[in-house]
C-alpha cells in the first residue's frame, strides 16, 4: 500500500488531489464532529488515504472487479485499506456509528440510493463537478428541504472547477463525547431508584 501523502502527483485514475490547506479543512469537518468518513466507490483510495493520514477514521469501499483485472488487487496501487464487496452487496457492510457519507466523483448510483441506505448519516460531502461528469453532482442537495450547505469550496484535481460541498441534515445536532470510564452493560448499572 502506498502512502498518499508521499506521492507528488497521483496516478491517472485519481480525480481529486487537494492542497494541504484544502485537505486540512476537509479533515477538520470529520475530526471536529468525531465522524468516520464512509466512502463508497473509492477507487484506489487516494483521497481517503490522505484523510487517514490527517487523522480521519475512514471506511473505504469499492466493488470487486467483475472481470479479472490486469493486475491482482494486491498489485494495484491502494492508498488506504479498501473493503472490496460484490455489486449486489453495495450497501451491505458494517456501519460505523458516527459517520458521514463521502462521495467523490460519484458515478451511476443515484444519490437517493446512498441517502436511503444511510438514513442515520447526518452529513454528506459531495466532491465533483456541478453536472455533466459526476453523478451525483456536487450541488445535488442544494435547495433540499432536508439538507443545508455548511461549506462550499473548490478543490484541486484533474479538471477545473472541482467543487466540494458539505451538507448537514436540518435539525442535526452533533455532539462529540469522550468517555474515559469503561462502558457498563445496562443490567449492571445501579440506578438511584434501586438504592
Selection from 76, 85, 75, 83 nearest residue 48 by Cα: 83
> What would the grid cell of residue 71 be?
493486475
- Asked if pLDDT for residue 11 goes beyond 50, the answer is yes
Backbone angles phi, psi at 27, to 5 degrees: -60, -35
- Count of domains in the chain? 1
Angstrom distance (rounded) from CA 23 to CA 180: 30
pLDDT at position 152: 94
Selection from 7, 97, 90 nearest residue 49 by Cα: 7
Map 68-125 to HEC letters.
Answer: CCCCCCCCCCCCCCEEEECHHHCCCCCCCCCEEEEEECCCCCCHHHHHHHCCCCCEEE
Tens digits of per-residue pLDDT, 120-136? 899 999 999 887 778 88
pLDDT band at 177 (very low <50, low <70, confident <90, very high): very low
DSSP state for residue 147 in the 8-state scheme: E
For 168, the domain range is 4-194
Q: What is the CATH number of the domain that holds 55?
A: 3.40.50.150
Tens digits of per-residue pLDDT, 146-173? 999 999 999 998 877 899 999 999 976 6
Kindly give the pairing relationship between strand 82-85 and strand 99-104.
Answer: unpaired
pLDDT at position 131: 77
Which H or E run includes 127? strand 123-128
Backbone angles phi, psi at 31, to 5 degrees: -70, -35
Tell me the average pLDDT across 77-81: 77
Amino acid at each position: 500500500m502506498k502512502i498518499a501523502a508521499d506521492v507528488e502527483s497521483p496516478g491517472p485514475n485519481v480525480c481529486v488531489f487537494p492542497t494541504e490547506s484544502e485537505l486540512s479543512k476537509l479533515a477538520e469537518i470529520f475530526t471536529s464532529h468525531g465522524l468516520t468518513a464512509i466512502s463508497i466507490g473509492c477507487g484506489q483510495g487516494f483521497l481517503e488515504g490522505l484523510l487517514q493520514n490527517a487523522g480521519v477514521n475512514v471506511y473505504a469501499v469499492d466493488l470487486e472487479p467483475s472481470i479479472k483485472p490486469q493486475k491482482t488487487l494486491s498489485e494495484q496501487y491502494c492508498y488506504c485499506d479498501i473493503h472490496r464487496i460484490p455489486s449486489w452487496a453495495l450497501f451491505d457492510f458494517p456501519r460505523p456509528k458516527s459517520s458521514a457519507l463521502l462521495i467523490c466523483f460519484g458515478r451511476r448510483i443515484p444519490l437517493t440510493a446512498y441517502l436511503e441506505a444511510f438514513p442515520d448519516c447526518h452529513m454528506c460531502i459531495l466532491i465533483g463537478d456541478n453536472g455533466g461528469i459526476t453523478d451525483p453532482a456536487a450541488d445535488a442537495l442544494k435547495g433540499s428541504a432536508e439538507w443545508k450547505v455548511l461549506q462550499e469550496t473548490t478543490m484541486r484535481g484533474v479538471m477545473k472547477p472541482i467543487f466540494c460541498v458539505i451538507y448537514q441534515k436540518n435539525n442535526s445536532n452533533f455532539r462529540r463525547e469522550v468517555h474515559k470510564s469503561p462502558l457498563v452493560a445496562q443490567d449492571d448499572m445501579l440506578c438511584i431508584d434501586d438504592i
